[in-house]
Homo-oligomer: A and B are copies of this chain.
Amino acid sequence: MKIAVIGLGIIGGSFCKAIKKHTGHTVIGINRTLSVAQRALDEGAIDVIGTREDLGEADVVFLCMYPQACVDFIRENGSYIKKGALVTDSSGIKRAICPELKKLSEQFGFVFVGSHPMAGKEKNGFEVSEAELYEGASFIITPCGADPKYCDILAKLALSIGFGKIKLTTPEEHDRMIAFTSQVPHVLACAYVQSPCCPNHDGFSAGSYRDVSRVANINSKLWSELFLENREPLAAELDILIQNITKIKNAVESGDRQTLTDVLEKGHLIKQNLGE
């Protein structure tokens, strides 16, 4: 197959490298900043630097930009895409862009299937992309009404480049679950490091500090967009979290050992029942 990857940041760059490492597919790299595409070519991450005119050759197109930028790109360049080609995004939110991309797919005659690779890093850009980023990770697919055979093609491609499992879901369930699994931890990390104690943690900290604060090194522009495109599910999860923290805080403050032990034990059991 010929696979076009639009946007050679950490996500797109890692797709390119993983495809080249694991498969014989041809990778067409398209990137706004040409020097980055040139670097990808030099490193063998892509076979050719493409322009929108080359989209007509691609059997599969990965959109690896900010969420709304994916929609904008298709709006402007959708007519260049081959009829019947499979187009997927890689966005961390789905309700805000999948319906629009679905509509554009019908307009331009390609097939849209949403997807979200569950992997990332605290740094951005092609320079931190790697062929192993997706090793064993979950690849979430939102079919959005596409013929199941296209979901199959995408799932097989994902598994062939290192992903460990496929999760099929709706944009609604995706966004609700991602608010919990990914967005809340990013909110937490940013909130946590704003304690006046943080700059002096060295010598007093170990794994717990490291783990909670890790993703505070956030791309504030990207994550603001992700949060605002997932307003209600995220706010609802944050409400639940604030309530649960407050419950523990009140038990600590009032010296209520029984309630405190009960709440902590509940957390322990949830984690234990998950086998984690």
Which residues from chain A sit less than 8 Å from chain B, CB to CB?
A: 118-120, 137-138, 140, 165, 167, 169, 174, 176-182, 184-209, 211-221, 223-224, 227-228, 231, 234-235, 237-242, 244-249, 252-253, 255, 257, 260-261, 263-268, 270-274, 276
Contact partner of A194 (CB less than 8 A), chosen from B190, B207, B266, is B266
Chain B, residue nearest A262 (CB): B220
> With contacts A193-B271, A238-B249 known, is A260 near B137, CB below 8 A?
no
- Is B263's CB under 8 angstroms from A203's CB? no
Alpha-carbon separation in the docked complex, A180 to B231 (Å):
29
Q: Which 6 A-B pairs have the closest CB atoms?
A: A190-B267, A167-B203, A191-B244, A185-B208, A220-B264, A211-B211
> With contacts A177-B201, A211-B211 known, is A255 near B267, CB below 8 A?
no
- Is A181's CB under 8 angstroms from B197's CB? yes
- Is B167's CB under 8 angstroms from A182's CB? no
> With contacts A119-B206, A245-B187 known, is A216 near B267, CB below 8 A?
yes
Chain B, residue nearest A266 (CB): B194
Chain B, residue nearest A192 (CB): B241
Alpha-carbon separation in the docked complex, A257 to B180 (Å):
20
Residues of B within 8 A of A180 (CB): 195, 197-198, 201, 204, 209
- Is B252's CB under 8 angstroms from A231's CB? yes
Alpha-carbon separation in the docked complex, A247 to B248 (Å):
20
Chain B, residue nearest A250 (CB): B235
Residues of B within 8 A of A223 (CB): 264
- Is B204's CB under 8 angstroms from A140's CB? yes
Contact partner of A234 (CB less than 8 A), chosen from B194, B240, B246, B252, is B252
